[in-house]
A and B are shown apart, each in its own frame.
Chain A
Amino acid sequence: SKKEVKENTDNKEVASEKDNKKDEKKPLKIGVIYLTAEHPYYQAHAMHTQNYTAEKGIKLIELDGKVDQANMANQMENLVSQKVDGIIYCLLEGTAGSADINMAQEAGIPVITFAIKHDPKTADATFVGIDEKSAGALGGVEAANKFMAQFPDKKAKIAVIEMTGVSASTDRSDGFIEGFQSVITDAEVVVRLNGEGKKDKAMAVVEDAIQANPDINVFFGANGDQGLGALAALEAQGRGTIDTEIVISHDGSEPELLKIADPESALKIANANLPKDLAEATVDTILEIINGEREMKNTDDIFVPSAVITGDDIEAAQKFLKEQYNSDTQL
Chain B
Amino acid sequence: MSNYILEMNDISKSFPGVKALQNVSLKVKYGEVHCLMGENGAGKSTLINILAGLLEKDTGEIFIDQKPVSINNPHDAYRNGISFIFQELSVVDTLTVEENMTLGFESSYGSIVNKKENIKRVKNILQKLNIDILYNSYVGDLTVCEKQMMLIAKALSQDSKIIVMDEPTASLTNKETDELFKMIESLKEEGVTFIYVSHRFEDIFTIGDRITVFRDGKNAKDLIVKDTSEEEIIRYMVGRNIEDTFPKRNHEIGETILEVEKICAKELIKDVSFQLKRGQVLGVSGLAGAGKTELARALFGDNPIISGHITLKGQKINLNKPQDAIKSKIALLPEERRTQGIVGKMTVRENISLVVSNRLSKLCVINRKKDRQLAKKYIKDINVKTPTPEQIIRFLSGGNQQKAIIGKWLATEADIFLLDEPTRGIDIGAKSEIYEIINGLTKSGKAVLLFSSELPELLGVCDDIMVMNNGRLAGVLSNEEATQEEIMKLSVGGSDHE
A–B touching in complex (CB under 8 Å): no
**Chain B contacts to A: CB under 8 angstroms:** none
